[in-house]
Structure 1
């Protein structure tokens, strides 16, 4: 195992141990900081957002940028729906399904056309944004939303960077596919829990 691969594994393990403690109200004043912490503290949000970056990294052309950008914009729209008092059905199931489906896309090295992948990613993002808004507490919508949008963009960038850290070789592609399988496995557990 190379040192870089061990570092990636160690960072992934530490990230997965963060748990959901910070993803729920009462842990910090509702503000930009708590908005920023929300996607980082819940394993469901963290894995889905990393997966968007991992998936986007292996897509052709403009999809590499459009998928993460579309996710962030749709996530903000989902928070806006929540702010308007419009409910989405089965938000937690939608979030869990996003972890499962995005993991499967990575595991199977899928290359959907942008006309299919962008609406799929955006639909999942609506659920994430709606959930973020539900956890907002008494924070201002602008500060809190800016926090979770920037954290999400950072997680997408981490996924893109992580995917690029693996060589474009049989072994590197296999490692990414196995990682996608692991993400999908967590999605199955979340849906069953």
Structure 2
């Protein structure tokens, strides 16, 4: 119950952070190269992808399940991009992206703190929030969207795998504190 309150509090906090968190404006969404570099230069994506890769490693023991979680995150991102292309802007997408950074931090903490059921729900929520990251790109995409999407998926895969491997080296609940600190610093200056 305590973890649920923490996750709810973090989601509420994301709503009071600056409304100008436009994590995706000002980026080129039209070429292979821009798709390749955006997950690295888009700090929100960098944090989320590395943290989710670590979460996949820490949340489950079986390697095949870990890789399935990473694949689910990629599918969610690409599906979100397709949805954004087709449905256009919706209210709250940037807030959901801001919340995703705080939720993944809480999920990392939860891995070391308690219930497997709550951990599974937090992981599922993170995958759903990764959909929002993709959706934002779909809204802003122009030009050669398919090349941008392929390149973004390649770069995102590398970051997910890097986060996965880093968690193998630093398996500590304080990883959550580092992700939360980086997320809050980014959100406060964005």
Task: Tell me the TM-score normalised to structure 1 length.
Answer: 0.72
- Structure 1's unaligned 5+ residue stretches are 1-19, 167-172
> CA separation in 2, counterparts of 1:125 and 1:177?
22
Residue 105 (structure 2) aligned to one of 103, 106, 128: 103
How far 1:48 sits from its partner (Å)? 0.4
1:179–1:23 Cα change, 3 Å = farther
Range with greater deviation from structure 2 (115-124 or 49-58): 115-124
1:54–1:165 Cα change, 3 Å = same
- Aligned twin of 1:36: 36
- Aligned twin of 1:131: 136
- Aligned twin of 2:145: 141
Alignment map for 1:45-84 (pairs within 5 Å): 45-58=45-58, 59-61=60-62, 62-84=64-86
> CA separation in 1, counterparts of 2:57 and 2:163?
8
- Aligned twin of 2:174: 178
- Structure 2's unaligned 5+ residue stretches are 1-21
Instruction: Kindly tell me the number of residue pairs found equivalent between the two proteins.
Output: 163
- Aligned twin of 2:163: 159
> CA separation in 2, counterparts of 1:151 and 1:99?
19
- Aligned twin of 1:25: 27
1:80–1:155 Cα change, 3 Å = same
Range with greater deviation from structure 2 (88-97 or 121-130): 88-97
Which structure ranks higher in relative contact order (CA pairs < 8 Å, sequence separation ≥ 6)? Answer: 2
Task: Tell me the TM-score normalised to structure 2 length.
Answer: 0.73
Range with greater deviation from structure 2 (176-185 or 115-124): 115-124
> CA separation in 1, counterparts of 2:123 and 2:176?
19
Q: Is the 8 A contact 1:79 1:130 kept in 2?
A: yes
